[in-house]
Structure 1
Amino acid sequence: MDMFKPSHVVLLSSPGLGHLIPTIELAKRILIHHNFKLTILAITSPSSHVESQILKSATNSSLYTIIQIPSPNIPSDISLTARLCVTMRQAIPSIKSAITNLTVRPSAFIVDIFGTEALTLAKELNIPKFVYVASHAWFLSLLVYSPVLDKQIKTPYLEHNELLKIPGCKPVRPEDVIDPMLNRNDSGYSEYLIIANNLSKSDAILVNTWDELQHRELKALNGELSGLLNVPVFAVGPLVRQPESKTGQATESVIKWLDKQPKESVVYVSFGSGGTMSDKQMKEIAQGLELSEQRFVWVVRAPTGKSADAAFFTTGCSDGFNDELDEIQKHLPKGFLERIKNVGLLVQEWAPQVAILKHPSIGCFISHCGWGSALESLTNGVPMIAWPLYAEQRMNAAFLVEELGVAVKTTVSQANNVVGREEIATLVKKVILGEQNSKSNKVRDKAREIKVSAEKALCHGGSAYTYCPISCGKYN
């Protein structure tokens, strides 16, 4: 076992809150265990106001240095995966310039999965290089095995009538594959395969999960799948945000409202920083929440008429709530705001999610199942209603529902491509109130178990500390 003791760690984040926030949290974790100098290279989104605010706050931190690198001008008419990969590829000259201009030579370089082509820069500098997978080990196993599946299966994955088998892991249903695999003719699919093949160019892979949660997949990644990777995989999670010490008016308004609600009585509804809904679906959600007769906080975003990930690069943020919903109201049932004023709170565009999920009045989270949001829910013991939209979220939902038992899943009607109000109401009641004629609430009980497991992983001696080559100061 060679000792690995970097003094200056450089982390690279691709655009989007789902990539930036986990990178910042990994930097904080490294800092907890070692007094390293930390530099984060953040490729910024073109017009995400929330991302700008987070970067501004992080830049003022004395814990690490943030270097913002403006995103190259990439056409917006390509898939999200392709856009992220092309963005990071074209940013390599700027990334190289930023690294070479550092006053302290980096002794370790960590990239997220969309930045794997930048690993060549670390090789040129002869420094240890790592890939940080901000998702979970089952997702990573599919990514690693995808080049094999690409050769084995010639038809579109959705037309494949058998489960996609991954050595040592739970198989994946064709309908649960991640977005790039839905269309093998799209440039995003070829970019996805490039990422898979680039993983072995690192010295090790860090994944945002913990051993007790995914022992089987982690064992496979370091066993049956190790021949494809040729590098070790380490569980470093759960890496999740903590509530901000300084809160603004927006946060205070939500928390004051939640303070007045009974314990575990409120449904929190949010589809992430990039998710959008159709006009028809927004109306069904509103009517479903009203029909459930349960309290709720709903983060609303006006429909764009485009894809479900349409807001990924443009997430806005408002300090106002009920007073700035003119555009939103056009997509809600007539009289909805007046009828729910005593039981519901609508928040425009963005909400202080970590603070909300930590609040004792929250009893359920209707979520798009982004892994960051899922972890924030799991680490607070909050059960979920899984409503996946894009990326690897269908896979995440299957894991949360079938493997962990902490969530129930929505079903999209084939007739009109929406989740109906009656189903929304039924699922909300099931999670908030529990099963009829049952004294226990299975999903809530399971969520509480996972919370304890996550806390153990983060303790000294837990998997997040023991198995991380940076956190424990060792590298195989």
Structure 2
Amino acid sequence: MEIKKENSRTNLHLVMFPFFAFGHISPFVQLSNKLSSHGVKISFFSAQANINRIQTILNPNPTTQVVPLTIPHVEGLPQGFESTNELNPTQSELLKVALDLMQPQIKNLLLELKPHFVIFDFAQEWLPKMAYDLGIKTAFYSVFVALSTAFLTVPSRLHSEKSYPNVEQLKYPPSGFPKTSVTCMKTFEARDFLYMFKSFHNKPCVYDRVISGLQGCSIILAKTCNEMEGPYVEYVKSQFKKPVLLVGSVVPEVEPTDELEGKWGNWLDQFEAKSVIFCSFGSETFLNDDQIKELALGLELTNLPFFLVLNFPKDKDASTELKRALPEGFLERVKGKGVISSGWVQQQQILAHKSVGCYLCHGGFSSVIEGLVNDCQLVMLPLKGDQFLNCKLVSGDLRAGVEVNRRDEDGHFGKWDIKSAIKSVMVEVDEGIGKSIRVNHKKWRDFLLDKSVQDKLILDLVKEMEGVAGISS
């Protein structure tokens, strides 16, 4: 493709370079859409196989282009894959190896495009030095909440220069952490955090990549705002001694033409307003057989209608997995009241349906925001990584949702834990926690849907980046 070069330095020109996972690509696209609507020129880097999908969600704009990248061959990586959604965990680690081999390709593109900034992701810690040598500024864009950065990926997380933390240390915040509702993690959550400090293929671990990127970049962009995470933002600033610019929660906009398909719309139409539980864990978070069984039984115990989406790794057949994992006789017992689907569904449109009143999810923050803005009471069942901290933020600091109770050592939950969490926000709405959660949920929904507030965050961001780049408004 023909690449549009920078002919004038009067408009801010940004290169967007996310990691090749749609959990990372989507926030970069959403931010690109917000910025391009304010006159910012965008050059969006991604693997060739991702281009068509990205173009369907990237707003068409004469100043926006998608630049295809060639992923170098690495033994063990399949040809023509789109993202980590098509890779197993071993292959996903090899993707970071391939990314490191792309440095000459990226350097040539930057020389040709001459952007003001490269906005990069956690795995490209080599970018700041490359860009600096070319006279280009860099911004590390953290697609995770500021709490996640503050708790896990700050210099003070290490107790000594060459000693990574153990499980017991990861249960507690690092030195100097602000006084908030986040005081201690469960053992199974801390054990999951150990992945951050594990090296694969003699490459830097995730923690080292993130720290290097945050320390090397010109500025840090955070997908948050002071109203939601002020103490954590200030802590990150104190740790890295550089500007932390806030982009807000980047609430996705649904076009009026994006109607819910008839099959699911008709099914939802038969139920009363705010009575249906929608349950989904995204495309890259998978439950094991025991978890599926307890979840299904818990949904059944609520005696409420539910729409359950269950996905499985690419090498598994969904119908076979469901048949094995679901409790015996379950589908017959819930017929007419519950449906189970696999694969992609119109999540935003389903959440916006008048009959949906509860969203049970894994706590991915984009999903949490979608639940909040669509007036669906949040029940969270985090399964890995930043999801645990997202849930602490929402259920603790924001008090806008509940988390399913889990056993400390191994994270086990049972059907009664599922029922209890849902009941607290769907049935006990005039008492105790249910009432306060609904009040807080409405407060945050109103805040997130206040277009003037969200637009000001983006406008301020553009002005601040122009100032760093030396562009006069």
User: Quick one: distance in 2 between partners of 1:178 and 1:44?
Assistant: 36
Are the structure 2 counterparts of residues 141 and 293 from structure 1 closer, same or farther at C-alpha, using a change threshold of 3 Å? same
Cα deviation for residue 383 of structure 1 reads: 2.5
1:295 paired residue among 305, 310, 313: 305
User: Quick one: distance in 1 between partners of 2:155 and 2:190?
Assistant: 10
Counterpart of 2:332 in structure 1 is 338
Matched, 1:125 2:134: yes
Cα deviation for residue 183 of structure 1 reads: 7.0
SS state of the match for residue 384, structure 1?
Answer: strand
User: Quick one: distance in 2 between partners of 1:267 and 1:283?
Assistant: 17
Counterpart of 1:157 in structure 2 is 166
Residue type of the partner of 1:68?
A: P
The superposition leaves residues 2-53 of structure 1 with CA deviations (integer Å, 9 ceiling, x where unpaired) of xx9644221001111110100000100101222x3311112478xxxxx676
Quick check: 2:38–2:459 contact (8 Å CA) kept in 1?
no
User: Quick one: distance in 2 between partners of 1:81 and 1:353?
Assistant: 26
SS state of the match for residue 109, structure 1?
Answer: strand
User: Quick one: distance in 2 between partners of 1:258 and 1:90?
Assistant: 49
SS state of the match for residue 287, structure 1?
Answer: helix
Cα deviation for residue 245 of structure 1 reads: 5.5
Quick check: 1:265–1:363 contact (8 Å CA) kept in 2?
yes
Equivalent positions of 1:235-384 (< 5 A) are 235-243=246-254, 247=258, 251-302=261-312, 311=313, 314=314, 325=319, 327-384=321-378
Quick check: 2:357–2:377 contact (8 Å CA) kept in 1?
yes
Are the structure 2 counterparts of residues 271 and 153 from structure 1 closer, same or farther at C-alpha, using a change threshold of 3 Å? farther
Quick check: 1:271–1:367 contact (8 Å CA) kept in 2?
yes
SS state of the match for residue 234, structure 1?
Answer: strand
User: Quick one: distance in 1 between partners of 2:334 and 2:449?
Assistant: 37
Quick check: 2:220–2:243 contact (8 Å CA) kept in 1?
yes
Matched, 1:426 2:407: no
Residue type of the partner of 2:194?
A: M
Counterpart of 1:17 in structure 2 is 22
Counterpart of 1:202 in structure 2 is 217
Counterpart of 2:65 in structure 1 is 65
Quick check: 2:55–2:66 contact (8 Å CA) kept in 1?
no
Are the structure 2 counterparts of residues 145 and 178 from structure 1 closer, same or farther at C-alpha, using a change threshold of 3 Å? farther
SS state of the match for residue 264, structure 2?
Answer: helix
SS state of the match for residue 264, structure 1?
Answer: coil
The superposition leaves residues 159-198 of structure 1 with CA deviations (integer Å, 9 ceiling, x where unpaired) of 2397323435246535455945357454487331232132
Q: Percent identity, aligned pairs only?
A: 22
Quick check: 2:142–2:223 contact (8 Å CA) kept in 1?
yes
SS state of the match for residue 123, structure 2?
Answer: helix
Q: With the length of structure 2 as denominator, give the TM-score of the two structures.
A: 0.81
User: Quick one: distance in 1 between partners of 2:166 and 2:438?
Assistant: 34
Alignment RMSD (CA, Å): 3.5
User: Quick one: distance in 2 between partners of 1:166 and 1:255?
Assistant: 50
SS state of the match for residue 65, structure 1?
Answer: strand
Matched, 1:54 2:71: no
Counterpart of 1:8 in structure 2 is 13
Higher relative CO (Cα under 8 Å, sequence separation at least 6) belongs to 1
1:39 paired residue among 15, 40, 43: 43
Cα deviation for residue 450 of structure 1 reads: 0.9
Quick check: 1:13–1:19 contact (8 Å CA) kept in 2?
yes
Are the structure 2 counterparts of residues 84 and 380 from structure 1 closer, same or farther at C-alpha, using a change threshold of 3 Å? farther
Worse-matched range after superposition: 346-355 or 328-337: 328-337
Cα deviation for residue 327 of structure 1 reads: 4.9
Quick check: 2:27–2:143 contact (8 Å CA) kept in 1?
yes
2:101 paired residue among 74, 79, 90: 90
Quick check: 1:141–1:221 contact (8 Å CA) kept in 2?
yes
Cα deviation for residue 56 of structure 1 reads: 5.1
The unaligned stretches of length 5 or more in structure 2 are: 1-8, 77-86
Quick check: 1:133–1:207 contact (8 Å CA) kept in 2?
yes
The superposition leaves residues 138-170 of structure 1 with CA deviations (integer Å, 9 ceiling, x where unpaired) of 122234524552427957432239732343524
Aligned length: 443
Residue type of the partner of 1:412?
A: R
Worse-matched range after superposition: 290-299 or 172-181: 172-181
Are the structure 2 counterparts of residues 253 and 161 from structure 1 closer, same or farther at C-alpha, using a change threshold of 3 Å? closer
Counterpart of 2:82 in structure 1 is none
Q: With the length of structure 1 as denominator, give the TM-score of the two structures.
A: 0.81
Counterpart of 1:230 in structure 2 is 241
Residue type of the partner of 1:41?
A: F
SS state of the match for residue 120, structure 2?
Answer: strand
Matched, 1:113 2:116: no
User: Quick one: distance in 1 between partners of 2:456 and 2:191?
Assistant: 27
Residue type of the partner of 2:284?
A: G
Residue type of the partner of 2:69?
A: I
User: Quick one: distance in 2 between partners of 1:148 and 1:427?
Assistant: 32
SS state of the match for residue 113, structure 1?
Answer: coil
User: Quick one: distance in 1 between partners of 2:98 and 2:405?
Assistant: 34
User: Quick one: distance in 2 between partners of 1:100 and 1:470?
Assistant: 25
User: Quick one: distance in 1 between partners of 2:435 and 2:59?
Assistant: 44
1:389 paired residue among 377, 383, 391: 383
Are the structure 2 counterparts of residues 109 and 172 from structure 1 closer, same or farther at C-alpha, using a change threshold of 3 Å? farther
Counterpart of 1:308 in structure 2 is none
Quick check: 1:43–1:68 contact (8 Å CA) kept in 2?
yes
SS state of the match for residue 459, structure 1?
Answer: helix
The superposition leaves residues 400-453 of structure 1 with CA deviations (integer Å, 9 ceiling, x where unpaired) of 111111222223347986421122122222221125766963222211111122
Cα deviation for residue 66 of structure 1 reads: 1.8
User: Quick one: distance in 1 between partners of 2:207 and 2:164?
Assistant: 17
The superposition leaves residues 48-80 of structure 1 with CA deviations (integer Å, 9 ceiling, x where unpaired) of xxx676335247944632233354547578679
Residue type of the partner of 1:464?
A: L
Are the structure 2 counterparts of residues 6 and 62 from structure 1 closer, same or farther at C-alpha, using a change threshold of 3 Å? closer
Quick check: 1:9–1:39 contact (8 Å CA) kept in 2?
yes
Counterpart of 1:181 in structure 2 is 194
The unaligned stretches of length 5 or more in structure 1 are: 46-50, 303-310, 319-323
Cα deviation for residue 353 of structure 1 reads: 1.6
Are the structure 2 counterparts of residues 381 and 435 from structure 1 closer, same or farther at C-alpha, using a change threshold of 3 Å? closer
